[in-house]
Structure 1
């Protein structure tokens, strides 16, 4: 079986999709599946310094980057399109990632024309909040392009049950599957050195760190987190908030203004994008993880926070009710008081917070790894190729 994974971007500034694609690739390779990835060199306001138009061997899979034109989230690549026209028939299945992307739309049309089955992972792009953002553009694009693409797919993969249920309201009846995102167990086995973080940001030492890890974006709920953390900080002056993540839409100045208006900007550090050892050091140094999002497909950062053994305060918009049922995370309504009350609860009782974090870590390791996700996807691919009913997970 030969699978082609497609994403418009692999730069870390774009959040969870690149990590998801790599996670799935590694998991499928472990099952003996041949995996290729094609993408572009887009990297927000610049380009990735990476060789183009050649296969790069990674950990068992190959990846090829193509030059592109990109502005914000708009990405198009004539060289990638030319390559897909010439090579798509050499793959058994094409698996695309994201929607509302002209580049991905062309690939869907190409697969349809050459009768190559394709799978779409929506990554939260059909969530109500996501659809309401730039609503008129998305309504038009959906009517002209995405509805056809979804109806023609062999299946649509959702990353959680809530996302699948919300998408049903759009009025198409294409087969769907739910396959959760995951983590690599080995990434969280060895505790990282927290000193890496303190060497970079000395003012954070001896603080009770609350960690936000995600893109600086309107949907992430920083307008809620600012007044919520301000309330908490008045009672817990040793608390310090890290806002760690890339800004690929120019939203950072607005986000910082929320904390300035709330009166707690001096207790907040905007670190920009944290990667590699520095990101894991931040996870290890934190006392609490917080995700105040209005909308998520299925957050990779939440999984990383839980796998790191952190007590996680996340909103209902994160679409993870399973964590609440397992008593593995604190899930709250998407409002200021609910967020602040939960943060205060765990800052006031760090032992209780640690117990929640331990349950979170075990819960993720048992249920949300890329090996589990890859086994499920392999069943999906096999059913498509054999023209059998899709598995129910």
Structure 2
């Protein structure tokens, strides 16, 4: 039985896509009957639901953030914990690049000659590298060492692999999408959609456009709201579900209150898993007009739920979906995005065709068995080259 150690800075409910990715990969490890362990910092303020669920896939070991090192996603016990755990495992999976947990885990794996996969989760994309860019470039030798020591850098889309900045390390790149999560509602239509809308307190008539994710400046929410203003009919509703940047959240709510569009905008705040499923079942269109996005677990959930998906041209998953006819991809311009959204809101035939194709693609490409087989081939390749 293969023993695999995963290390990540946090798996709090509100930590974003990295937490969801770790959870999805935990199910892959279970399917392959690997003996998997997870080490992570514990931040109770980010929520413990996902962490408690991960115990079904991993032996979980959590550490308190350090008083000082916690600012850099580190812990006073991290070094000794990794020195104990890494030699006990056959393979290490490092989640992230620019934090103490990832850096120390990679260094410990190299010290004990244990192969490791590096999963940057988009952090090596040129867009993300602009944040604290001076410091990241200044410390390039550290990142190059971590990347060069990895057996492979794991990407979830081909465009991520093509754009990835490896600081000159030249490390092998593997593309592996994340599998569909559990408990995604099957295509919702007719009575089931009406029932879901009533459960969410949404109008039964009209079309529902859903944004589901972190409230973050890169998510394109001002653009989505402007496009919705231009495209919506009097019975249509835009649902913004999620939490994040409090200042941006207040700004968006104020803008929604001041609008004169015939449609309405509803902000739900934090969404629990059950309500998340209900919102997906209630929605006609899922929209994500990000300035930059890699895989997007929420998009995968929307595809599986039978929503027609509208993405910006900087959501990398859109490349695969457009080829399959499973999404509409638009430029990040209000009038252009509004035209695409209006078609999805008013043309039942187009919306249903796209939703069916997207669901078919998700069931095939993101099937857990299929992803697990691909992951096993990656792991086998690691040991064949080691």
Verify same fold: TM over 0.5: yes
Q: Cα distance, 1:134 vs. partner? A: 3.6
Match of 2:373 in 1: 375
Kept after mapping to 1: 8 A contact 2:181/2:301: no
Match of 1:180 in 2: 177
Kept after mapping to 1: 8 A contact 2:117/2:152: yes
Match of 1:227 in 2: 226
User: Which digits, 9 at most, give the CA deviation of each residue in 1:226-277, with x for residues without a partner?
Assistant: 21111113xx121111111121575322443554566559821111221311
| Residues 27/57 of structure 1: CA separation in 2 closer, same or farther (3 Å cut) | closer
Match of 2:295 in 1: 298
1:185 and 1:49 map into 2 onto residues whose CA distance is 18
SS at match of 2:83: helix
Summarize the alignment of residues 74-153 of structure 1 with structure 2, pairs less than 5 Å apart.
74-141=72-139, 143-153=140-150
User: Which digits, 9 at most, give the CA deviation of each residue in 1:146-204, with x for residues without a partner?
Assistant: 222111111101111101111158533111111112204664449678646644x5354
> Structure 1-normalised TM-score?
0.87
| Higher relative contact order (CA closer than 8 Å, sequence separation 6+) | 1
2:71 and 2:164 map into 1 onto residues whose CA distance is 22
1:237 and 1:94 map into 2 onto residues whose CA distance is 53
1:107 and 1:264 map into 2 onto residues whose CA distance is 51
SS at match of 2:6: strand
1:96 and 1:384 map into 2 onto residues whose CA distance is 15
SS at match of 1:68: coil
SS at match of 2:163: helix
> Structure 2-normalised TM-score?
0.89
User: Which digits, 9 at most, give the CA deviation of each residue in 1:286-312, with x for residues without a partner?
Assistant: 111101011112111111111111100
2:201 and 2:82 map into 1 onto residues whose CA distance is 49
Match of 2:7 in 1: 6
Q: Which moved more, 1:302-311 or 1:17-26?
A: 17-26
Q: Which moved more, 1:126-135 or 1:173-182?
A: 126-135
**Structure 2: which 5+ residue stretches go unaligned?**
none
Match of 1:67 in 2: 64
1:295 and 1:240 map into 2 onto residues whose CA distance is 25
Kept after mapping to 2: 8 A contact 1:56/1:62: no
User: Which digits, 9 at most, give the CA deviation of each residue in 1:322-379, with x for residues without a partner?
Assistant: 1101101111122222221111011111332122111111110011123322221221
Match of 2:270 in 1: 273
Kept after mapping to 1: 8 A contact 2:207/2:283: yes
| Residues 26/85 of structure 1: CA separation in 2 closer, same or farther (3 Å cut) | same
SS at match of 1:38: strand
Match of 2:29 in 1: 28
1:158 to 143, 155, 158: 155
Residue 314 (structure 2) pairs with residue 317 (structure 1): yes
2:32 and 2:245 map into 1 onto residues whose CA distance is 35
1:334 to 332, 335, 339: 332
Kept after mapping to 2: 8 A contact 1:123/1:158: yes
Q: Cα distance, 1:62 vs. partner? A: 2.1
1:121 and 1:83 map into 2 onto residues whose CA distance is 20
| Residues 9/185 of structure 1: CA separation in 2 closer, same or farther (3 Å cut) | closer
Match of 1:386 in 2: 384
1:113 and 1:286 map into 2 onto residues whose CA distance is 50
SS at match of 1:7: strand
SS at match of 2:114: coil
Cα RMSD, aligned residues only: 2.8
Q: Cα distance, 1:218 vs. partner? A: 1.1
Number of positions where the alignment pairs a residue of Structure 1 with one of Structure 2 = 379
| Residues 190/109 of structure 1: CA separation in 2 closer, same or farther (3 Å cut) | same
User: Which digits, 9 at most, give the CA deviation of each residue in 1:73-98, with x for residues without a partner?
Assistant: 84222223321122210011110112
Q: Which moved more, 1:132-141 or 1:316-325?
A: 132-141
SS at match of 1:386: helix
| Residues 149/255 of structure 1: CA separation in 2 closer, same or farther (3 Å cut) | farther
